[in-house]
Structure 1
Amino acid sequence: MHKSFSPSLRRLPLLAVLLVCFLLGACSSLSTIRYKPRGPESGKGSEVVLFALGLIDTGYRFGGKNPEAGLDCSGMVAYIYDRSLGLKVSGSAADIARRGQPIDRSQLRPGDLVFFNTRNAPLSHVGVYIGNNRFVHAPSTNGRVRIDSMHSRYFAQRYETARSYFD
């Protein structure tokens, strides 16, 4: 005879199992973020993307805030948003995430910002979403602004959230 459960699990009353499932479900629903519906793509997003694409192959520099000296991820975003929209976005990637409007990954639009945990620290990296699950960012690895896929193994495992600064 095949035994699929240990003797101790077989003795658990069904009510206790149901209670645990209910409590786990209730806990997970408390942390759910409510996202407001989004309208159609905006011209602002297109401006941000065009400006971001113009920075491809710009050199990386920690703390960099302009293309001539080099850019880091948050400096790149601040530069792009200032030059394309006249919108002041500053601080670390985490600071930028705190001020943006949370959006669900399924509602990403070109020009939105995507955030990753790349240094064992929440919200430690930011990039500009350009569509088709791709984003422009300034990684320290390989030292150049470039396009990467959000589906790449590295970034898929480190994705945290997305934010919008317009709509």
Structure 2
Amino acid sequence: MRKYAIISVVFALMLSVGSLFSVKEADAAYSPTAVVSIAKKYIGVPYKYGGTTPSGFDCSGFIYYTHKRVGKILPRTVAQLYKKGKFVSKSSLRPGDLIFFTTYKKGPSHVALYIGKQQFIHSASKGVRIDRLSNPYWKKAYIAAKRY
């Protein structure tokens, strides 16, 4: 009888320890540095409305694809992305943070990946490219940044 009690205790401990590690394996592997590195590989890929592959990306499709490559599943659209994550100040930006802009309509309509040194990578009308936050157009269009 005592043998079964010990086995039950050991089994219960194994279950409780396992629950401590309930984080998805993919999320545990996520690295902002890896996302930035992967994103840079797609510089020059053309813009494609609704695009989510290296044959053509829209802004949120680019964010979705690059994060998925490192096992981090994010929402697919700018609006959905804007509802998630934690706001961070412009002065606290870190590589891997997402930056939101207002472009063709009021509110968030464009998203980019911050890569450091006041630069971001994104897919816009000229395709995947790196721009600076100090660019007058983007400086005026900036809304907020979020960390995931």
TM-score normalized by the length of structure 1: 0.69
SS at match of 1:145: strand
Unaligned residue ranges in structure 1 (runs of 5+): 1-42
Say whether residues 1:115 and 2:100 are aligned partners.
yes
- CA distance in structure 2 between the partners assigned to 1:62 and 1:111 by the alignment: 23
Match of 2:140 in 1: 157
Paired position in structure 2 for 1:146: 129
Q: How does 1:80-159 map to 2 (within 5 A)?
A: 80-84=66-70, 86-140=71-125, 142=126, 144-159=127-142
Shift of 1:87: 1.1
The amino acid of 1:126's aligned partner reads V
- After TM superposition, the score normalised by the length of structure 2 is 0.77
Please tell me whether the aligned partners of residues 129 and 135 of structure 1 are also in contact (alpha carbons under 8 angstroms): yes
Q: Matched residue of 2:49: which SS?
A: coil
- Secondary structure of the equivalent of 2:73? coil
Partners of 2:132 and 2:105 in 1: CA distance: 20
SS of the residue corresponding to residue 55 of structure 1 reads: coil
Cα displacement (A) at 1:100:
1.3
> 1:114 Cα shift?
0.4
- Structure 2: give runs of 5+ residues left out of the alignment: 1-29
1:67-110 CA-to-partner distances (Å, cap 9, x unmatched) read: 12x100000000011102x1111232121111111111111000
- Could you say what secondary structure the match of 1:56 adopts? coil
When you count strand as a share of all residues, which structure comes out higher? 2
* Alpha carbons 1:75, 1:90 under 8 Å: kept: no
- The RMSD of aligned alpha carbons is 1.1
Partner residue, 2:64: 78
> What CA distance in whole angstroms lies between the structure 2 residues aligned with 1:121 and 1:146?
24
Distance 1:73 1:100 in 2: 17
Partner of 2:39: 52
